[in-house]
């Protein structure tokens, strides 16, 4: 029997547990997991301690994983058992009570300890740190018996503690050694505004003040400062900072500096079987105390420890939001700037709004927002993306909110966000993940969203944004995106869910998929063709076509007309024909009394009014291939004459068009697919309204995509510019395959691209050469599975194929 | 009225239909997924679309022209549309399909 590897984790905090969750997510059966926690509580959300202190939440509210969760995941949990020794030689850990556990992999997630200023008197009763539930409980107890509190430290932690104590009814003075509150996150202006705002809420401050000693006998009675002045107080909360908790690691001779030093895979640089994550870690000379980077580390650790390979942690840019009600503060990156950077700023002191963005080389490198932080997420995204802001400087501070009409600014902002914008930086939850969860599980509240996606479950700073997303989905039934709608009335599942299930459960037939996905009835004319397309596009080699799930045109390989007759459009590659071909067409038209012969918009010839029973004979007489003018498949590649004839032509558009059509003929797609190639920028082949339009320019080709000239005109967007025709072919392959894999059935490229965004298409088809060649290779594989031309096949099979000709019952027998 | 031989059952496509010309009338016979064979007039009450070319689901055929749904047992168009087609009696014996005309 295979024995699982043993994974032991020291520490039961947020970063460590995030790593465990990620590991279980990747492979729940890989490890036997044992966790030692020094606290008696199961894993809880330390970030929200301030909310517990502030009385906004209870301890139960901030529990992340209850004991039941550990049981369900077969995790051995030792609570209240601090590990006292790591014996690396024996690969085991020893807890205070003597419990031992052997490991193959060890994860150290011991977090941090509050830093205690070495002041005379710190050991007196009433000196409290602010770090865990126990500290919270002590402060809450103290607030019942005492009135005056001093908080040493005017940083994030100190202010949250102070606010909590104010809410508990205490008189609170914050002592800060610098002039500016939260000086790690705020500049002087924002710091002053923050101070004013907190003073209005009843907090007092002594800034630029150093504490000399703590006064009192056994119990705290006051503080004495360096300038000799004193402050009376009953409790002292020490919140000057945290230090990585590296004692255990140091004891085990793992290399430590400020924290446990790890490589980019979160392994100790001393011992590869030991990983470390969270606040106890030092990575590339930096330690982190905010939750978002720790979660990022946890993900990387999980990838590596489960053998998923190559992702590395390269450090984080952090943003901060202060969680003090009534005060909105956001800060990210280098908010001070220096000589080589410049600043865009908006200040309304009376209105309590301050926004500052630091820009260097036209990119945002830092930001401080006070009073109105709605743009924080967007700015932080731009900062991480390195977005060039030279064009937007004048509107940068007023954000997307400028674009919406009055009263809808929030919604407008949400709708402006791209689907993969991170909404919850703590848990790496994107807008799309939230939307999908809301739609899939019918969520209606922020709490449900948190339960489902973890968004807003850590720092809670993105809560308002989550609300906006909820409003944007639920506010009006019209706002429901196509993404969210069930495929049709026969199922509750969306297109994407159906595709995912077909892929995951290897569903190979329309009927099989309907059974497995609990379809209502035998499907309809919406879902049956869609399922038939999905099973074949996802499993091209393993499936075959289901004619009963095709609508008449695709089943008959001809276009039904209003009188029940059909039209026949043979393929003319690139719109090019020959006298012989034309004579044959003319002969057929005359022989079969074809009532109408018409040139199509796609540069070919349409024979209209052909009886169903004559189709095969017409095809045989034409001796041409099907033009698929009836199909959700490649239709035509329209061309201009190009450099072969045109005196302005710069490129051989006919040659490229013919090659493209030969490459893509008979390729089925979610909807019809129209291409064109123009030989010069005069663009006579109208590339700008095609699903894929190519325009020859001097020395290369411009490739446009997502154009449409039908119901709703949409001008194609530039996908990329390439040098030669071979590159065009490669891009075309990748683009068509991405569309085939990604779009919903029935969705034209114009709609698809509007839904997923041009950037996504560009990334997969242009920017990432690996993705491009993989897509192209998948299309090639699919093309190999395509059989012969359907008309030729019909001609060959006519004898045995029933259904083309009506059955005639002798009229005399009927009339007798 | 009498029973007339139409074709072998397997000459009708599975989960599909086929047109039958009998005297002056055009009839659509369908082979359902449950094995039954049903027949109606091959002319949609809406715009005379050939129902025999429609997509068959259960005992309903969807007209290829404008997607009207016709219940093959009653001959009625399903709501929201309104109309009906004539139905014909069918029997299958030894894989031979008979129509009563």
In chain B, residues with a C-beta closer than 8 Å to the C-beta of A811 are 22-24
Q: Quick check: is A810 in a domain?
A: no
Residue from A490, A801, A803 to probe the interface with B (highest B Cβ count within 10 Å): A803
In chain B, residues with a C-beta closer than 8 Å to the C-beta of A550 are 55
Q: Is the peptide bond before A763 cis (omega within 30 degrees of 0)?
A: no
User: How high does pLDDT run on average in chain A?
Assistant: 88
- Same domain? For A561 and A651 the reply is no
Q: What local confidence, expressed as pLDDT, does residue A528 receive?
A: 94
Helices (H), ranges, A698-745: 725-742
Its pTM stands at 0.52
How many Å lie between the alpha carbon of A546 and the closest alpha carbon of chain B?
10
Reply yes or no on whether the pLDDT at A658 is more than 90. Answer: yes
In chain B, residues with a C-beta closer than 8 Å to the C-beta of A527 are none
* Number of structural domains in chain A: 5
Average pLDDT of the segment spanning A668-677: 96
Q: Quick check: is A357 in a domain?
A: no
Q: How many CB pairs under 8 A join A and B?
A: 92
Boundary residue ending a domain (A512, A530, A550):
A550
Q: What local confidence, expressed as pLDDT, does residue B82 receive?
A: 85
Work out the end-to-end distance of chain B between its first and last CA atoms, rounded to an integer number of angstroms: 5
A221 alpha-carbon distance from chain centroid: 53
Q: In what order do the strands lie in the sheet with A673-678?
A: A634-639, A673-678, A692-697, A700-705, A717-722
CB-count burial class (<10 Å; 0-12, 13-18, 19+) for A235 = buried
- Angstrom distance (rounded) from CA A467 to CA A129: 34
Closest by CA position to A617, among listed A646, A587, A656, A642? A587
- Angstrom distance (rounded) from CA A54 to CA A357: 31
- Same domain? For A663 and A698 the reply is yes
Contact B55 A547 (CB under 8 A): no
A311: left (phi over 0), alpha (psi -120 to 50) or beta: beta
| HEC-encoded secondary structure of A622-645 | HCCCECCCCCCEEEEEEECCHHHC
* Number of structural domains in chain B: 1
> Are the beta carbons of A603 and A636 closer than 8 angstroms?
yes
How many Å lie between the alpha carbon of A592 and the closest alpha carbon of chain B?
21
- Angstrom distance (rounded) from CA A619 to CA A615: 6
Q: Quick check: is A368 in a domain?
A: no
In chain B, residues with a C-beta closer than 8 Å to the C-beta of A556 are 53
- Same domain? For A167 and A81 the reply is no
- Angstrom distance (rounded) from CA A371 to CA A382: 20
Higher pLDDT, A444 or A11: A11
Which candidate from A522, A803, A815 shows the least CB-CB separation from B13? A803
- Angstrom distance (rounded) from CA B70 to CA B40: 9
Look up the domain containing A169 and give its range. Answer: 127-240
Nearest residue in B to A525, CA atom:
B55
- Same domain? For A656 and A743 the reply is yes
Reply yes or no on whether the pLDDT at A404 is more than 60. Answer: no
Per-residue model confidence as pLDDT tens digits over A164-179: 899 888 999 999 999 9
- Angstrom distance (rounded) from CA A661 to CA A637: 6
In chain B, residues with a C-beta closer than 8 Å to the C-beta of A555 are 53
Strand, helix or coil at A111? coil
Asked if the C-beta of A809 comes within 8 angstroms of chain B's C-beta atoms, the answer is: yes
Q: Quick check: is A379 in a domain?
A: no
Boundary residue ending a domain (A191, A211, A240):
A240
Looking at chain A from residue 536 to 575, which residues have their Cβ under 8 Å from any Cβ of chain B? 547-553, 555-556, 560, 562, 564
Q: What local confidence, expressed as pLDDT, does residue A767 receive?
A: 92
- Angstrom distance (rounded) from CA A607 to CA A619: 11
Contact B23 A551 (CB under 8 A): no
Q: Number of H helices and number of E strands within chain A? A: 26, 37
Which CATH number covers residue B48? 2.102.10.10
- Same domain? For A643 and A778 the reply is yes
H or E element in which residue A532 lies: helix A527-538
Q: State the pLDDT confidence band at B41, using cuts at 50, 70 and 90.
A: very high
Q: Quick check: is A174 in a domain?
A: yes
Per-residue model confidence as pLDDT tens digits over A267-303: 999 999 999 999 999 999 989 888 888 888 999 999 8
The residue behind tokens 């909360």 is A237
How many Å lie between the alpha carbon of A472 and the closest alpha carbon of chain B?
32
Which CATH number covers residue A598? 3.90.480.10
- Same domain? For A23 and A105 the reply is yes
- Same domain? For A643 and A743 the reply is yes
- Same domain? For A95 and A131 the reply is no
Asked if the C-beta of A522 comes within 8 angstroms of chain B's C-beta atoms, the answer is: yes
- Same domain? For A232 and A298 the reply is no
The ipTM (two decimal places) reads: 0.89
- Same domain? For A31 and A48 the reply is yes
Strand, helix or coil at B79? coil
In chain A, residues with a C-beta closer than 8 Å to the C-beta of B22 are 808-809, 811, 814
Per-residue model confidence as pLDDT tens digits over B52-66: 999 999 999 999 988
Reply yes or no on whether the pLDDT at A134 is more than 50. Answer: yes
Reply yes or no on whether the pLDDT at A407 is more than 50. Answer: no
Closest by CA position to A323, among listed A164, A557, A543? A164
Contact B23 A814 (CB under 8 A): yes
Q: Quick check: is A724 in a domain?
A: yes
Per-residue model confidence as pLDDT tens digits over A15-68: 999 999 999 988 888 999 999 999 888 888 887 887 788 777 888 888 888 888
Contact A522 B99 (CB under 8 A): no
Q: Quick check: is A459 in a domain?
A: no
In chain A, residues with a C-beta closer than 8 Å to the C-beta of B33 are 522
Reply yes or no on whether the pLDDT at A403 is more than 50. Answer: no
- Same domain? For A203 and A283 the reply is no
- Angstrom distance (rounded) from CA A730 to CA A663: 11
In chain A, residues with a C-beta closer than 8 Å to the C-beta of B3 are none
- Pair of tokens at residue A554: 């695709």
Look up the domain containing B56 and give its range. Answer: 3-100
Reply yes or no on whether the pLDDT at A192 is more than 60. Answer: yes
Asked if the C-beta of A813 comes within 8 angstroms of chain B's C-beta atoms, the answer is: yes
DSSP state letters, A127-196: EEE-SSHHHHHHHHHHHHH--EEEEE--SHHHHHHHHHHHHTT-EEEEE-SSSSTTTTT--HHHHHHHHH
Asked if the C-beta of A504 comes within 8 angstroms of chain B's C-beta atoms, the answer is: no
A514: left (phi over 0), alpha (psi -120 to 50) or beta: alpha
Which candidate from B7, B22, B49 shows the least CB-CB separation from A564? B49
In chain A, residues with a C-beta closer than 8 Å to the C-beta of B61 are none
Boundary residue ending a domain (A601, A622, A643):
A622
> Are the beta carbons of A223 and A211 closer than 8 angstroms?
yes
Reply yes or no on whether the pLDDT at A10 is more than 90. Answer: yes
Residue from A521, A809, A815, A816 to probe the interface with B (highest B Cβ count within 10 Å): A809
Residue from A515, A521, A564 to probe the interface with B (highest B Cβ count within 10 Å): A564
Helix, strand, coil content of chain A in percent (nearest 5): 35, 25, 40
Q: Quick check: is A34 in a domain?
A: yes
- Same domain? For A180 and A209 the reply is yes
How many Å lie between the alpha carbon of A560 and the closest alpha carbon of chain B?
8
- Angstrom distance (rounded) from CA A157 to CA A154: 8
- Pair of tokens at residue A315: 């450090």
């Amino acid at each position: 029997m295979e024995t699982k590897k043993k994974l032991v984790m020291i520490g039961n905090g947020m970063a460590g547990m995030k790593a465990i969750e990620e590991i279980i997510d990747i492979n729940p059966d890989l490890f036997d997991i044992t966790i030692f926690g020094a606290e008696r509580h199961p894993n809880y959300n330390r970030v929200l301690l301030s909310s517990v202190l502030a009385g906004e939440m209870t301890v139960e509210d901030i529990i992340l994983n209850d004991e039941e969760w550990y049981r369900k995941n077969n995790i051995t949990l030792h609570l209240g058992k601090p590990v006292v020794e790591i014996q690396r030689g024996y690969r085991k850990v020893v807890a205070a009570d003597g419990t031992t556990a052997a490991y193959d992999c060890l994860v150290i997630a011991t977090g941090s300890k509050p830093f205690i200023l070495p002041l005379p008197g710190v050991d007196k009763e009433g000196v409290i740190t602010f770090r865990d539930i126990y500290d919270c409980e002590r402060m809450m107890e103290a607030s019942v018996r005492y009135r005056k509190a001093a908080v040493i430290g005017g940083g994030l932690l100190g202010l949250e503690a102070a606010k909590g104590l104010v809410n508990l009814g205490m008189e609170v003075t914050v002592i800060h050694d610098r002039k500016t509150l939260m000086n790690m996150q705020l500049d002087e202006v924002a710091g002053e505004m923050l101070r004013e705002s907190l003073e209005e809420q009843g907090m007092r401050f002594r800034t630029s003040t150093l504490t000399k000693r703590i006064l009192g006998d056994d119990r705290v009675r006051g503080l004495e400062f360096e300038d000799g002045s004193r402050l009376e107080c009953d409790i002292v909360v020490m919140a000057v900072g945290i230090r990585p908790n590296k004692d255990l690691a140091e004891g085990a001779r793992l290399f430590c500096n400020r924290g446990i030093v790890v490589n980019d895979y979160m392994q100790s640089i001393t011992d590869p079987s030991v990983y470390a994550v969270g606040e106890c870690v030092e990575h590339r000379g930096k330690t982190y105390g905010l939750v978002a980077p720790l979660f990022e580390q946890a993900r990387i650790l999980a990838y590596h420890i489960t053998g998923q390979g190559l992702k590395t942690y390269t450090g984080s840019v952090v943003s901060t939001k202060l969680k003090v009600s009534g005060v909105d503060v956001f800060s990210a990156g280098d908010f001070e700037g220096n000589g080589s950077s410049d600043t865009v700023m908006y200040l309304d002191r009376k209105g309590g709004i301050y926004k500052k963005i630091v820009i260097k080389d036209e990119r945002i490198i830092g930001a401080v927002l006070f009073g109105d932080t709605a743009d924080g997420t967007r700015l932080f995204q731009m900062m991480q993306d390195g977005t060039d802001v030279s064009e937007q400087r004048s509107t940068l501070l007023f954000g997307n909110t400028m674009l919406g009409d009055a009263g809808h600014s929030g919604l407008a902002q949400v709708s402006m966000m791209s689907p993969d914008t991170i909404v919850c930086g703590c848990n790496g939850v994107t807008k799309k993940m939230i939307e999908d969860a809301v739609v899939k599980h019918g969520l209606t509240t922020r709490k449900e969203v948190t339960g489902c996606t973890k968004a807003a479950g850590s720092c809670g700073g993105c809560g308002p944004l989550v609300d906006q997303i909820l409003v944007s989905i639920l506010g009006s039934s019209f706002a429901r995106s196509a993404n969210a709608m069930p495929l049709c009335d026969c199922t509750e599942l969306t297109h994407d869910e159906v595709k995912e299930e077909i892929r995951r459960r290897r569903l190979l037939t329309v009927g099989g998929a309907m059974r497995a996905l609990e379809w209502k009835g035998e499907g309809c004319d919406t879902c049956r063709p869609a399922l038939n397309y999905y099973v074949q596009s996802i499993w091209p080699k393993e499936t075959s076509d289901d004619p009963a799930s095709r609508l008449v045109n695709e089943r008959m390989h001809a276009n039904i007309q209003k009188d029940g007759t059909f039209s026949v459009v043979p393929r003319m590659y690139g719109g090019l024909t020959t006298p012989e071909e034309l004579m044959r067409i003319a002969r057929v038209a005359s022989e079969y009394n074809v009532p109408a012969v018409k040139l199509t918009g796609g540069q070919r010839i349409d024979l209209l009014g052909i009886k169903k029973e004559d189709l095969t004979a017409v095809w045989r007489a034409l001796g041409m291939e099907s033009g698929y003018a009836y199909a959700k498949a490649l239709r035509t590649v329209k061309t201009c004459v190009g450099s072969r004839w045109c005196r302005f032509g710069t490129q051989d558009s006919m040659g490229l068009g013919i090659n493209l059509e030969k490459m893509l003929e008979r390729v089925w797609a979610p909807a019809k697919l129209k291409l064109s190639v123009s030989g010069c920028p005069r663009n006579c082949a109208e590339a700008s309204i095609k699903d894929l339009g190519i325009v020859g320019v001097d020395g290369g080709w411009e490739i446009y995509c997502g154009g449409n000239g039908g119901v709703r005109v949409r001008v194609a967007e530039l996908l990329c510019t390439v040098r030669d025709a071979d590159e065009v072919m490669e891009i075309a392959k990748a683009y068509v395959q991405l569309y085939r894999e990604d779009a919903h059935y029935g969705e034209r490229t114009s709609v698809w691209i509007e839904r997923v965004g041009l950037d996504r298409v560009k990334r997969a088809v242009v920017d990432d050469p690996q993705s491009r060649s993989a897509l192209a290779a998948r299309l090639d594989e699919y093309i190999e599975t395509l059989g012969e031309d359907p008309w030729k096949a019909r001609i060959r099979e006519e004898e045995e194929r029933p259904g083309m000709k009506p059955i005639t019952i002798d009229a005399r027998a009927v009339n007798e | 009225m009498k029973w007339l031989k139409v074709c072998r059952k397997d000459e009708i496509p599975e989960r599909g239909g086929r047109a039958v010309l009998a005297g002056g009338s055009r009839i659509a016979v369908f082979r359902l997924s449950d094995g039954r064979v049903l027949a109606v007039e091959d002319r949609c009450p809406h715009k005379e679309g050939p129902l025999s070319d429609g997509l068959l689901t259960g005992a309903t055929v969807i007209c290829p022209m404008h997607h009207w749904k016709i219940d093959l047992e009653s001959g009625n168009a399903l709501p929201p549309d309104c109309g009906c087609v004539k139905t014909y009696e069918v029997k299958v014996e030894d894989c031979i399909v008979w129509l009563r005309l």
